[in-house]
């Protein structure tokens, strides 16, 4: 079974599209301590350490914790508390691959850091690291953040740099590319919105084609940042 963890405000059209991809959709509950734009974003509220272990924010409901445990996941809680003041809203918003962990390490939650400190740690200033980064594979990435681009390039990874903006994020001026999508499998990426309606969509589609990845649009609209889609195979 494939599960998709999404913002609780996902549209019915997006929900049905995910279900038509044979996904069981799990809605992430809002954290009322956060500002509305990101209060339901999965990449703010939780972090998958690996396929068997997840960390959720300290004040998540016991119901959500039990949902994760029912999937045979080991569930940890963050040491820090999410609040609407930076950097307390970015404690779990890191990029985590089998090879490295990238975040503003100064603000990474202690419990999360303790569980990934065996990996190469890449420290950057951008605290909204996962929001800013599309992880296509262990070796290929898309970002609108120049510092992330330069850092990953220095490690020899293939990185596409795109301009910021032109992505919807209700309550804020614009969203981030990493929050618009998720890899449903190694060859398919799912977007909230349509790359054909994004000014840099052709650039992204060429990069995806280079890596043998097919994009799927959940809805025929401008790209929208809903805080990433986390897919999990059980």
Q: What is the pTM of this model?
A: 0.97
Quickly count: other Cβ atoms within 10 Å of residue 50's Cβ.
Answer: 12
pLDDT digits over 145-195, tens only? 999 999 999 999 999 999 999 999 988 999 999 999 999 999 999 999 999
Q: What would the mean pLDDT of 73-98 be, rounded to a whole number?
A: 97
Q: What is the mean pLDDT of residues 41-66?
A: 98
Predicted confidence (pLDDT) at residue 234 exceeds the cutoff of 90: no
Residues 6+ apart with CB under 8 A from 233: 1, 2, 3, 51
Mean pLDDT value across the chain? 97
Separation CA 128–CA 91 (nearest Å): 9
Q: For residue 177, which of 126, 104, 232, 105 has the smallest C-alpha distance?
A: 126
Residue-range domains of the chain with CATH:
2-233 (3.75.10.10)
% of residues, the chain, pLDDT over 90: 98
């Amino acid at each position: 079974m494939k599960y998709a963890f999404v913002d609780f405000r996902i549209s019915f059209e997006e929900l049905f599209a995910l279900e038509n991809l044979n996904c069981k959709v799990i809605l992430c509950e809002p954290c009322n301590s956060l500002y509305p734009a990101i209060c339901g974003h999965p990449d703010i509220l939780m972090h998958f350490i690996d396929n068997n272990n997840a960390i959720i924010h300290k004040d998540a409901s016991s119901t959500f914790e039990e949902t994760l445990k029912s999937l045979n996941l080991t569930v940890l809680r963050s040491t820090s508390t999410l609040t609407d003041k930076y950097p307390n809203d970015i404690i779990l918003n890191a990029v985590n691959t089998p090879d490295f962990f990238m975040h503003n390490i100064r603000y990474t939650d202690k419990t999360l850091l303790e569980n990934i400190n065996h990996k190469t740690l890449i420290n950057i200033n951008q605290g909204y690291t996962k929001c800013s980064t599309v992880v296509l594979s262990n070796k290929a990435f898309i970002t609108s953040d120049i510092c992330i681009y330069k850092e990953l390039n220095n490690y020899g990874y293939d990185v596409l740099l795109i301009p910021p903006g032109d992505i919807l994020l209700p309550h804020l001026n614009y969203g981030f590319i990493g929050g618009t999508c998720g890899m449903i499998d190694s060859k398919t990426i799912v977007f909230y919105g349509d790359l054909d309606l994004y000014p840099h969509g052709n650039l992204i589609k060429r990069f995806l084609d280079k890596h043998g990845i097919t994009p799927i649009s959940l809805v025929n609209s401008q790209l929208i940042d809903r805080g990433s889609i986390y897919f999990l195979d059980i």
